Amino acid sequence: MPSERSTATVSKAQHPSQESHTTHFGFLHIPVEQKVNLVRRHFNTVAYRYDFMNTLLSFGIHYAWKQTAVDLMHLKPGDQVIDVCGGTADLALNAANKVGPAGKVFLYDINWAMMVTGKPKVNASPFSENIVYVQGDAEKISFADNSLDGAMVGFGIRNLTHMEQGFREMHRVLKPGGKIMCLEFSEPTPPWFKALYDFYSFHIMPAVGKVLAGSRHAYTYLPESIRLFPGPEELKSMLEAMGFCQVFYQRLSRGISVVHVGTKG
């Protein structure tokens, strides 16, 4: 396990260019090639309790965030959509409701354990026929160029070793006019609320994670990786630089989460 944890020197340059040799795993500096396995191990550890912990730690608000995020994509019946880093399928289920029986949602995740955890939820929904499971890496999406109407990623992009590569892949698989949506944690804006949120996420969340999910470390990674993620304006510029147009974002719950939506030009 890597050990160089440095909170003092953390920068938001979490995601290395393809040439750099180190990256972050939370606040740890690690060799680039280790990240994918550490992320996989992390989600193997938390998979069986992922939905329960998400609901508990967010007081259930994550469901409303996901609903809003998918609404903002304005998907149409018959659309084909990929849920990158889709995990236990919450966004996929929302999207399946929009695209209807004529559409398809591809639940795409590197970690089979996460998708299997979401399977009972999908099977119990009216959309099980419309959701297709695909195991794969978000940095090399196994879909053809210009093939999909929507590409969404929820709370996943910050886990990639090369975040920009993940966005480039989403751009590549979208048809011209297709929509990208990224829902991600951010840092809330009012200073008093941020102080409260910092205390909650760095102290309460890891303690609850240790008691209820058996891993303090897994729930330390979460707030650390959030602090390293680009702010909403920076992310908007990044998406525009990649060729997305009409990019906008909406802060949710005083900026705890932010949803970005853009269109492939």
Ligand X SMILES: C[S@@+](CC[C@H](N)C(=O)[O-])C[C@H]1O[C@@H](n2cnc3c(N)ncnc32)[C@H](O)[C@@H]1O
Check residue 259 for interaction with ligand X (CB under 6 A): no
- Cβ proximity to ligand X, 110 vs 151, nearer residue: 110
> Can you tell me the distance from the alpha carbon of 63 to that of 46, in angstroms, rounded to the nearest whole number?
18
Dihedral of alpha carbons 149, 18, 37, 22, sign: negative
- Judged by CB under 6 A, the residue of 53, 70, 91, 205 near ligand X is 91
**What is the smallest separation between the CB atom of 70 and ligand X, expressed in angstroms?**
11
Number of residues that bind ligand X (CB under 6 A): 21
Check residue 228 for interaction with ligand X (CB under 6 A): no
**What is the smallest separation between the CB atom of 179 and ligand X, expressed in angstroms?**
16
Footprint (CB under 6 A) of ligand X, residues 20-59: 36, 39, 43
Containing H/E element for 44?
A: helix 32-46
Check residue 169 for interaction with ligand X (CB under 6 A): no
**What is the smallest separation between the CB atom of 80 and ligand X, expressed in angstroms?**
18
Footprint (CB under 6 A) of ligand X, residues 101-130: 109-111, 114
**3-state class (DSSP) for residue 39:** helix
Q: Which residues contact 91 (CB under 8 A, 6 or more apart)?
A: 66, 69, 70, 83, 152, 154, 183
Alpha helices in 154-217 (DSSP H): 163-173, 191-199, 205-213
Phi, psi of 148 (to 5 degrees): -125, 155
Which residues form the interface with ligand X (CB under 6 A)? 36, 39, 43, 85-88, 90-91, 109-111, 114, 137-139, 154-156, 159-160
